[in-house]
Structure 1
Amino acid sequence: MNRRQSLGTLAALLGGPTVAASARAATPPRRYGHLLAVGGAEDRERDRLILRRFIELSGGPQARLLVLTVASSDPAASWEGYRRVFEALGAQRVEPLDLREPAQANDPAVVDRILDADGIYLSGGDQRRLMGVLWESAAARALHLAFHVRGCCIGGTSAGAAALSRQMLAIGEPALRPYRDAVSLDIGLGLLASAIIDQHFNERHRLARLLSALALRPDLLGVGIDEDTALLIERGRSVEVLGNGAVTLVDARQMRTNVREADPEQPLQMLDVRLHLLPAGTRYEVVDLDPRVPAPPPALRQALELLVRPGPIRG
């Protein structure tokens, strides 16, 4: 798809019905990309498996890679670190994109750069800073278009991973047990519509924090990702765990809880919560099952379906 078609579709997202109608005919069918949610502290010195895979999924050494350092408090240092590792892995077309103000996220030149990218990597930092700049912006809508239509690979580490979901864990205390006021939720990018992500999961003992979030939003799948570990999602099809740790999935959709009656700092009762632990190397097909890959058991498959389910294009 050329840039004019991309921008026409973006105009349809931003404009009125006349613009939408004229762009619709030029819009090809959706071609979903991959989401790569990284738990932070990904290896940059040894085998660099996660970042190597990101380059492959983006199209190889000639892929156009964009590193968004919006979440970082030191974007220059963040960019330099990723520039070195991506170039060491053979990537030949890597560029930074740092936005400090919401107005920058509505610049047509910024939108062009996002739509031209084959792979987009969101750095760590503070997810609230990231969304403070990208919220309801043309750049956020362009990320959706790049992913949903162009098939761009979008990765995020630490804060960048947290912001991939629609409901984002914005603030949370390192509690020993879940309670009602332990976390604060906010709106993320929405590339992952039916889950909520926490990172540095095992290293910072964040199970209680994730449970606190699910007590407020039991309709979402809780995803806890260890450091130097990534959850790779092929939308509509499969999930895979990369790296050296594990991904914890917490399914609270059948849960019974006293969250509405509990005092703000009272430990919560949470019954019938399902937990799935997927170590690195785990891979499951969820749709169009490959007979060479073990099928997930029914309860796990129900959870994985929330991850691979295509969501709406939104900003």
Structure 2
Amino acid sequence: MRHYSFMLGRLAGFFLLLVAVSAQAAAKGSLVIAGGALRADNAVVWQRIVALAGGQGARIAVIPAAAGNPERSGKQLVQTLSRYGAAAFVLPVAPRLPGDVRKAANDPALAAAVRSAGGVYFSGGDQGRITQALRNPDGSNSLVLDAVWEMYRRGGVIAGTSAGAAIMSSTMFYEAGSVLATLQNGVEDGREIAPGLGFVGNELFIDQHLLIRGRFARMLPVMVKKGYRLGLGIDENTAAVVGPDRQLEVIGYKGALLLDLARATVDRQQTAFNVSNVAISYLDHGDRLDLASGALLPSGDKADGKVDPARPANFGAVYTADILGNTTVVDVMAKLVDSDQTQALGLAFGGPPAAAGKAGFEFRFSRTADTIGYASATSEAYSVYRLRLDVRPIALGWPQYDYR
């Protein structure tokens, strides 16, 4: 059976990486990318946004374009940012606000307000509404979007949650189905995926609501299709902060999953989705990633807690029949990295009616020579770096019962 590597994709991806790094090097600003459901009491994230915007009194423009009720969302976000010391204001650019959104997005006065601010915050909701609002019908940037880029390149911060996180990469989910359906059916441009605004550059794919909704697996078909090497999925009430030096730090309630396809392969003779040799890492609160070099650095409470494979804390098989469950993937990874086992197995299936004619999937996690685990000295948290992940389609035979 022949396996085709991503060689051409890697060459193209490497070129895009050079272009992206060059473009990002010119930007002096930072990004705060929250994975959704960002609570108003998550002080570490909100304080970081305000600090990066210039500190107490910093002017931050709130763009509620994604929100179903942008007036209410904008007002609440202004109140939250103001509570943490910002001079926040709503920028009335949203498809669901009264008036012509195209006219508002190309209003020189609104663009000037953004340009002179220290930061911009994008609300959650529907990411398609953000690109609809800020891009002209011909695909060009509106005046407001150009102003956001100018503010960012000058040294300001761009922050956003949920939909506001999805737009950060050059490709975003648009009208995606369930995680399992995405694996089974793939993704198409203009349907499941669409162009984002690309603030984080072309080398990193971003997804949100990641762990609590079991979404890590849906990133893989997008990354394979679009040639991404790196994918970062951020959990709810958590944020990834990306500085102008391309250092990424995870802050907030939980963490983020990093997928690296640098050595991955796909069996093109298989019609169902499959991928082998993906490096998967879990970055916990306080962990850092150097996007340029790929170096991972654990948080201070884990720095002296490197897991010793010769002295495992867990024994026996590591297995789950629902790898797409709430935070299940992180639980499996944490057990495996500190286990007497070298492999863990997870399955993903739909119910019998949905499964007819559709593949299920096996997720095999393996410890390798590159795998490193760190355990916190103050909690039960782990950081897990570079497990190997192989995904292959499998069929499950359902027993036939006569319930009559």
Aligned partners of 1:42 and 1:48 also within 8 Å: no
Matches within 5 A, 1:3-14: none
Q: Partners of 1:187 and 1:287 in 2: how far apart?
A: 23
Aligned partners of 2:58 and 2:85 also within 8 Å: no
**Cα shift at 1:262:** 5.2
**Cα shift at 1:182:** 4.7
**Cα shift at 1:277:** 0.8
Q: Partners of 2:119 and 2:29 in 1: how far apart?
A: 9
Aligned partners of 2:251 and 2:286 also within 8 Å: yes
Aligned partners of 2:234 and 2:257 also within 8 Å: yes
Residue 276, structure 1, aligned to residue 284, structure 2: no
Matches within 5 A, 1:232-311: 232-258=241-267, 263=271, 266=272, 268-284=273-289
Residue 163, structure 1, aligned to residue 172, structure 2: no
Matches within 5 A, 1:59-208: 59-91=54-86, 93-99=87-93, 100=95, 101-135=101-135, 136=140, 137-148=142-153, 150-176=154-180, 178-182=183-187, 184-193=192-201, 194-208=203-217
Aligned partners of 1:165 and 1:195 also within 8 Å: yes
1:225-283 deviation per Cα after TM superposition (whole angstroms, max 9, x unaligned): 0000000001224111000111111112332124x6555xx3x1101111111011112
Residue 38, structure 1, aligned to residue 70, structure 2: no
Aligned partners of 2:32 and 2:239 also within 8 Å: yes
Aligned partners of 1:256 and 1:270 also within 8 Å: yes
**Cα shift at 1:299:** 9.8
Letter in structure 2 aligned against 1:153: V
Aligned partners of 1:179 and 1:212 also within 8 Å: no
Q: Any gaps of 5 or more consecutive residues in structure 1? A: 1-28, 304-315
Q: Partners of 1:94 and 1:169 in 2: how far apart?
A: 28
Q: Partners of 2:78 and 2:133 in 1: how far apart?
A: 23
TM-score normalised over the length of structure 2? 0.60
Partner of 2:382: none
RMSD between aligned residues: 2.8
Partner of 2:224: 215
Aligned partners of 1:182 and 1:209 also within 8 Å: no
Letter in structure 2 aligned against 1:139: V
Q: Partners of 1:147 and 1:261 in 2: how far apart?
A: 44
Aligned partners of 1:229 and 1:246 also within 8 Å: yes
Q: Any gaps of 5 or more consecutive residues in structure 2? A: 1-24, 96-100, 304-368, 373-384, 386-404
Letter in structure 1 aligned against 2:198: G
Q: Partners of 1:140 and 1:254 in 2: how far apart?
A: 36
Deviates more, 1:175-184 or 1:93-102: 175-184
Answer 1 or 2: higher relative contact order, Cα 8 Å, separation at least 6. Answer: 1
**Cα shift at 1:155:** 0.4
Aligned partners of 2:119 and 2:151 also within 8 Å: no
Query: SS of the counterpart of 1:250?
Result: strand
Letter in structure 1 aligned against 2:72: A
**Cα shift at 1:127:** 0.6
TM-score normalised over the length of structure 1? 0.76
Count of residue correspondences: 263
Partner of 1:26: none
Q: Partners of 1:171 and 1:121 in 2: how far apart?
A: 23
Aligned partners of 2:30 and 2:242 also within 8 Å: yes
Letter in structure 2 aligned against 1:192: V
